[in-house]
């Protein structure tokens, strides 16, 4: 398949095409954007191609008449369908992006050649935990109309405490997230509709692709690092890695390390 003369509308970047190499599809997290991956892709092999999608509600239009998670899944479907057929495809999802990818697989998306899940879990199964998480996400949605206050409070959560150690990552966040005030109404819908307390857990979907999956968490992201320790027992064949001195936003805090882990993993996956 020849490289298209221009990327699709939801794509922000391509690198030089070389036959029999990798094409990577990056899926950002909640409040994220394609720019979040720039420091990562700069460290990848030049022969690889890549694209970074924009999830609905994050600048891309959120349709009023369609299910929100279904719109997310359809974005992933389109990205996979537009990948060059001459290349092996790896999909890289961070946090919400990883959950969307797992839900797409759960709904029958053909599994790509490799998956990388960053700061992602297969979801929640305990009813009480699910209910508590959904209520928390609904509370966040209610305060998004005061965007500056919401943004400050969001990144003051213990989940993002490690950002204090990575000033460059904080600058990227401030630049990219501040501009999302115009999307606040859509993002309020996204956080509720895609809450781990709302959508089904995807353990079976992850188990089905475990032998081609790399799961990564930041060392300082204690909830996800704890889950990572159990992943090989739950999903035989999966590969797990922990990034030192990084928290939940591992792709922003330690992009060079993340890129090296992805490169090493996909190098082993070459035919």
CATH code of the domain in which 213 resides: 3.40.50.1820
Look at residue 3 and tell me if it is in a domain. no
pLDDT more than 70, % of the chain: 92
pLDDT of 41-54, one tens digit each?
A: 999 999 999 999 99
The 88-94 sheet, strands edge to edge? 49-53, 22-27, 88-94, 114-118, 213-218, 239-243
Domain of 37?
A: 22-125+200-268
Look at residue 142 and tell me if it is in a domain. no
Alpha-carbon separation of residue 187 from 60, 68, 74, 142, 162 (angstroms):
11, 10, 17, 11, 24
Which token pair is 33?
A: 């954007």
Look at residue 43 and tell me if it is in a domain. yes
**Cα–Cα distance measured from residue 76 to residue 186, given in angstroms and rounded to the nearest whole number:** 19
What is the mean pLDDT of the segment spanning 62-87?
94
Three-state DSSP at 227 gives helix
Number of other CB atoms surrounding residue 8 within 10 Å: 12
Look at residue 5 and tell me if it is in a domain. no
* Ramachandran assignment for 89, one of left (phi > 0), alpha (psi -120 to 50 degrees), beta (any other): beta
What is residue 176's predicted lDDT score, i.e. its pLDDT?
80
pLDDT of 9-59, one tens digit each?
A: 344 443 433 444 899 999 999 999 999 999 999 999 999 999 999 999 998
Q: Residue 180, Cα to own-chain centre: how many angstroms? A: 18
**Cα–Cα distance measured from residue 181 to residue 173, given in angstroms and rounded to the nearest whole number:** 13
pLDDT of 110-152, one tens digit each?
A: 999 999 999 999 999 999 999 999 999 999 999 999 999 999 9
CB-based contact 122:55 (threshold 8 Å): no
Look at residue 30 and tell me if it is in a domain. yes
Which token pair is 4?
A: 């298209």
Look at residue 206 and tell me if it is in a domain. yes
Domain count, the chain: 1
Look at residue 211 and tell me if it is in a domain. yes
Looking at residue 247, the DSSP 8-state letter turns out to be -
**Cα–Cα distance measured from residue 134 to residue 142, given in angstroms and rounded to the nearest whole number:** 13
């Amino acid at each position: 398949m020849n490289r298209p003369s221009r990327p699709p509308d939801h794509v922000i970047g391509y690198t030089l095409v070389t036959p029999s190499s990798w094409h990577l599809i990056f899926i950002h997290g909640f409040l994220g954007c394609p720019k979040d991956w720039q420091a990562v892709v700069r460290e990848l092999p030049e022969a690889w191609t890549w694209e970074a999608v924009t999830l609905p509600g994050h600048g891309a239009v959120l349709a009023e008449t369609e299910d929100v998670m279904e719109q997310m899944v359809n974005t992933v479907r389109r990205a996979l369908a537009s990948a060059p057929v001459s290349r092996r495809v790896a999909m890289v999802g961070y946090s919400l992006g990883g959950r969307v990818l797992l839900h797409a697989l759960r709904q029958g998306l053909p599994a790509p050649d490799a998956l990388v899940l960053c700061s992602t879990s297969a979801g929640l199964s305990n009813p009480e935990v699910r209910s508590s998480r959904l209520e928390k996400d609904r509370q966040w949605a209610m305060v998004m109309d005061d965007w500056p206050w919401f943004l400050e409070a969001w990144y003051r959560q213990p989940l993002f405490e490690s950002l204090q150690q990575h000033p460059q990552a904080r600058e990227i966040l401030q630049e990219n997230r501040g501009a999302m005030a115009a999307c606040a109404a859509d993002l309020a819908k996204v956080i509720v509709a895609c809450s781990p307390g709302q959508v089904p857990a995807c353990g079976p979907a992850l188990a089905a692709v475990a032998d081609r999956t790399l799961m990564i968490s930041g060392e300082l992201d204690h909830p996800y690092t704890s889950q990572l320790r159990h992943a090989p027992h739950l999903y035989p064949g999966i590969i797990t890695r922990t990034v030192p001195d990084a928290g939940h936003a591992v792709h922003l805090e330690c992009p060079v390390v993340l890129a090296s882990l992805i490169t090493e993993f996909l190098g082993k996956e070459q035919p």
